[in-house]
Amino acid sequence: MTLDDTHDQTLQSWLESANDPATDFPIQNLPLGRFRRDPNGPWLAGVAIGDQVVDLQQAGLVASGDANALIGAGKDQRLALRKALSDGLRAGSLQQARLQAALVAQSQVELGLPCEIRDYTDFYTSVHHATTIGKQFRPDNPLLPNYKWVPIGYHGRASSIVASGASFRRPRGQLKAPDADSPKLGACARLDYELELGVIVGRPNPMGDPVGIAQAEDHVFGLALFNDWSARDIQGWEYQPLGPFLSKNFASTLSPWVVTLEALAPFRAPFTRPDGDPQPLPYLDSPANRAEGAFDIELEVWLQTPKMREAGSEGERLSTSNYKDAYWTVAQMVAHHTVNGCNLASGDLFGSGTLSGPAPEQGGSLMELSQGGKKPIVFANGESRTWLQDGDSIILRGYCRRDGFRRIGFGECRGTVLPSHPAA
């Protein structure tokens, strides 16, 4: 990835909130999302800067407010837009008046999904998560034989992907206790979250045309925070032989801002495999992927119970991890997804799968942190959790930092559990 003057850590904006060291959205970031000024208004493409949003169409930087059209336009147009915004938002810019007129406070608008999600595939890219979960079911053989050879994934449900801040009902489905003769229909009792990143597809590929790994990132617009909520008790009964179904399609939460690959360029990291592990097959390997296929993104999970909320507490941090520890890269996901000729569309979403770290306390789900519900997590206020309860909120956060560059962030991805729908 190329570095240029838009990454200069000394850049300051005429918008003071963008210069706050604590902001996720300094001038070096410029993530894309969608917003609307009133509940019945259209969704418009915007870029976050400090505590404001730039209305791209009002600023004269795009022809329409269609975020999917912008996402699918390709790398050259994305680079040109980033450069134009960086130049216009810098301190001393002659374009300040024009861009200032196109600003609206984030607190004054509704932030939605960053684009229309056309299709959704969830991967399983964390070997640490796969190993920890596998040990709960297969202590002597936690990883299945294909894991280190193929990027595992399944096709999910795009219709139930919701924007950050939305609440959702606790799902119902078939449940079967180990000692029961037959299943029953009921509300999920083992509700979990999954700390993930979402990969937003940019430029599409025609059906039948695989995308080689050397070109794979040309088809990716950027990354966002993603929570793939999971009903573990429903999942345990239904997942054999075809995998997740009702345990996954009731809700998934996506953050409103997509951080572009250009903004993430300073935070690339080498992709390596542990000694003794097989190297990827040739279609999943390239010099560029080895040199900088990984992303150094620090991730956090926070839980806020109703009691914490009432006390004015933002919650307690459950775990931290880093995306650079994933076993498969973004480029490998694209190359594998299309190797059979599958056509991707602008606005397609890939989930990374749960991103857990190598240490036990770095689990990206309650399934890991509570050891399958056997070890309650105790909080400072005396409350404890093994699984999520009604009223609980999960907040995901992510950020990048490296010496010589400005810290950038992803905002937050927040969702709250509501009681199950009354039985029919």
Catalytic residue among 128, 129, 219, 337: 129
Residue 129 bears catalytic tag: yes
| Calpha distance 352→420 (Å, rounded) | 28
- What lies within 8 Å, CB to CB, of 80 at 6+ separation is none
| Calpha distance 30→42 (Å, rounded) | 22
Tokens of 193: 């979250």
Phi, psi of 360 (to 5 degrees): -55, -35
Strand (E) or helix (H) holding 199: strand 195-201
Q: CA separation (Å) from 306 to 251, 385, 389, 414, 417?
A: 20, 13, 9, 14, 10
HEC string of 280-347?
CCHHHCCHHHHHHCEECCEEEEEEECHHHHHCCCCCEEEEEEEHHHCCCCHHHHHHHHHCCCCCCCCC
| Calpha distance 35→127 (Å, rounded) | 36
Tokens of 305: 């119970």
| Calpha distance 339→173 (Å, rounded) | 35
Q: State the Rg of the chain over Cα.
A: 21
Residue 244 preceded by cis peptide, ω within 30: no
User: Which residues belong to the active site?
Assistant: 129
